Structure 1
């Protein structure tokens, strides 16, 4: 049986978290030390007698939603890079059938999901391979979707793209501005770290330099949010071990003038050299790296150039609302991916794995596979997963069923290293929330922004 209370210590601060209600409490040092010396049952009995009675956290279920959260269009299954850790076989996903999606397939995909979700689609994401290798289609889809949703009286979806950044030109920047895209670019750090694993497939030159040049050109005129996605290997972790308080690579990415940073560790069972631990055991260092990453983001709120960490905002929102999610991943429930030839998957990480094909957009009448896979992922709730049901961040965690399947062959077996990373990030978040760290930094940030406005107006 799960203990109701979680006690942890970070930066010499003790925090008590009530797993059932999602409330948390900052403890005096003396109390924290006393509780630390107790058995969990004894501590729980004492706490239960003293804490006020609170309503249990709400459980949010997404199976009956009438809006599709995200539709990922994998518009290219080709890529101009040959990243050493790529799980998608250079964008081909081990199933190369068709290099590029056609406009007809993209339209069929949107219509397919509008039938299933009559109140609309929140986000349409262009993905690859490298999505910009099929740029003409992106232009056509943005125009057609905008007109179609307006005619149906539906709110236009937000357009997003994940790109390696090397093909961004003026046409792309103009499109991003026109439709207010959210743009995510892949970059792993400075030139030395990034170009070790991220290389061109046929061309020569530095991927890092190409991406940084694109960021600079976008920053000169962009009206859209720009994020960097960093794949963490042992290189960043080892660099952090000798770099001090904050990960140097995070400071470097932030200095490029982007709005947010998303990190994901490489957990590769087949190539341990490239894993985030480099084939060794670096769990503590990996967790510390992600803890420092979150702290950096929170501390940046007090500056004139804050950095956003999307997963932290998502977790903070759940804690604020005292709301848990039944599944740690919404893939296949309200989040879907379509490959270049119209096959439907819960997520792009499953492309090429036939047991997860949910159907095809050209055959909307065939529902057996769709319902089978949707039921499988929807019933994969955290209360049923052995590794999750007794975890204190159950319902907050944003783990990945695709990663679980690719690494363990089972969507019910999350990657152990990822579990440690998410717990470390959540602990840091709860500590900052319980001590008022985030609100204080936000107040300071607002003061800085107000001063900037005053000076600007005076000028």
Structure 2
């Protein structure tokens, strides 16, 4: 256990396990004095913290990853002992946390621990943003008051109108989800809400995509429609991610930003280019979520993981850094090197191979198409071009 106290302008941390005492002098050097020797402090600001507080769920979605024992043999519910171990680890390594995200299973099933962690994290780490991903069916007045008090961002899963949602999401009735949405809007949390739809072959076969978009547009709440990830032939999409479809997704992304659409789906190529232009963001890594000191993920047993996509893998930063680094002959000769991003989970697991030749890199080609599309918009209308940047900041 960790004891942390402040005396005058100094913060003292005592580790009850190792009996080590740290003095963190608050000054411009941000150095820790230990045994009269100075060592450079580890990065003190954590950008993202993902907490899996339960692997249980009250629903039985046909496409759910938990059907494949995704979480392995972790405990069904995080207990206070595991929560305290996480808090102790964070106390030793960070002063501030930007974003905290609660996941499951259905996190509301472990509301007691969610509340405990939220109160401790907000008090100790000046958390900027809190979020929860939920199926919405267990949210009651007490939980709404809690979400409102701490200004949570709330991602609710709903797969469309009743005829679609209730087919795919067993025990998670559309009527109850819609009732929760109305209650959250009533207390002033509409702008904190995002709806997430998992798009499947069932949608393709029985419900036109344009009707689905129309359904979500009428709700007037920000939403994402995400393609299902599954090998189940009854659910796997027929959609082919060919060259023309990717180009259309790039064009549609710009259109949604210009029109300030409630549909928040933006393909990564468009997002990466705009982030680079607007915020001058550059990275030596493909994915920040697996960088030690930038993002942390903990399961119900307080075990650390690279990210949720690699929940079954043991922590090995040397191995993952080799895959995640852009310091290679192909990337070093690419103009898009500093803005390029991608999920590296499949490369890390050995299911995909790294690009060996710059001419084989489709990401480079799509970044080029993104730039060309942006310039075409400018040529047609400077007003629409400027809207891309002014709207994206709040998109």
Using the size of structure 2 for normalisation, the TM-score is: 0.70
> Does residue 1:165 correspond to 2:165, yes or no?
no
Q: Displaced runs of 4+ in structure 1, greater than 4 A?
A: 235-240, 305-315, 384-395, 403-406, 410-413, 419-430, 441-445
Match of residue 102 from structure 2:
126
The structure-2 alpha-carbon separation of the partners of 1:173 and 1:82, relative to structure 1 and needing over 3 Å to count, comes to same
Q: Residues 369-380 of structure 1: matches in 2 within 5 Å?
A: 373-380=316-323
Shift of 1:387: 9.3
Aligned with residue 146 of structure 2, among 151, 155, 175: 175
Aligned with residue 297 of structure 1, among 228, 236, 256: 256
Aligned with residue 77 of structure 2, among 100, 125, 130: 100
> Does residue 1:74 correspond to 2:64, yes or no?
no
Aligned with residue 218 of structure 2, among 255, 261, 273: 255
Shift of 1:160: 0.9
Gaps of 5+ in 2: 1-41, 356-360
Structure 1: distance between partners of 2:63 and 2:344: 19
The structure-2 alpha-carbon separation of the partners of 1:430 and 1:135, relative to structure 1 and needing over 3 Å to count, comes to farther
Structure 2: distance between partners of 1:289 and 1:188: 23
Structure 2: distance between partners of 1:67 and 1:106: 20
SS in 2 for 1:274: coil
Structure 1: distance between partners of 2:330 and 2:140: 45
Match of residue 336 from structure 1:
296
Shift of 1:295: 4.5
Match of residue 135 from structure 1:
111
Match of residue 86 from structure 2:
109
Structure 2: distance between partners of 1:199 and 1:421: 38
Contact 2:199–2:226 under 8 Å retained in 1: yes
Structure 1: distance between partners of 2:170 and 2:365: 32
Shift of 1:125: 1.0
Shift of 1:341: 0.9
SS in 2 for 1:129: coil
Match of residue 197 from structure 2:
230
> Does residue 1:210 correspond to 2:176, yes or no?
yes
SS in 2 for 1:96: coil
Q: Which has the higher contact order (CA 8 A, sep 6+)?
A: 1
SS in 1 for 2:60: coil
Structure 2: distance between partners of 1:374 and 1:94: 20
Structure 2: distance between partners of 1:390 and 1:239: 47
Structure 1: distance between partners of 2:317 and 2:101: 20
Contact 2:224–2:263 under 8 Å retained in 1: no
Contact 1:173–1:218 under 8 Å retained in 2: yes
Structure 2: distance between partners of 1:78 and 1:422: 41
Q: Kindly tell me the number of residue pairs found equivalent between the two proteins.
A: 336
SS in 1 for 2:87: helix
The structure-2 alpha-carbon separation of the partners of 1:217 and 1:307, relative to structure 1 and needing over 3 Å to count, comes to same
Contact 1:72–1:124 under 8 Å retained in 2: yes
> What RMSD over aligned residues (CA atoms) do the two structures have, in Å?
3.8
Match of residue 264 from structure 1:
226
426-435 or 75-84, which deviates more: 426-435
The structure-2 alpha-carbon separation of the partners of 1:285 and 1:309, relative to structure 1 and needing over 3 Å to count, comes to same
Match of residue 275 from structure 1:
236
> Does residue 1:439 correspond to 2:386, yes or no?
yes
The structure-2 alpha-carbon separation of the partners of 1:88 and 1:67, relative to structure 1 and needing over 3 Å to count, comes to farther
Contact 1:164–1:187 under 8 Å retained in 2: yes
Deviations 1:335-380 (A, max 9, x none): 22111111111112222x2xx223xxxxxxxxxxxxxx22322332
SS in 2 for 1:383: coil
The structure-2 alpha-carbon separation of the partners of 1:395 and 1:209, relative to structure 1 and needing over 3 Å to count, comes to farther
Q: Residues 407-446 of structure 1: matches in 2 within 5 Å?
A: 409=351, 427=369, 431-432=373-374, 435=378, 436=382, 437-440=384-387
Structure 1: distance between partners of 2:328 and 2:157: 32
Gaps of 5+ in 1: 1-63, 150-154, 201-205, 359-372, 414-418, 446-459
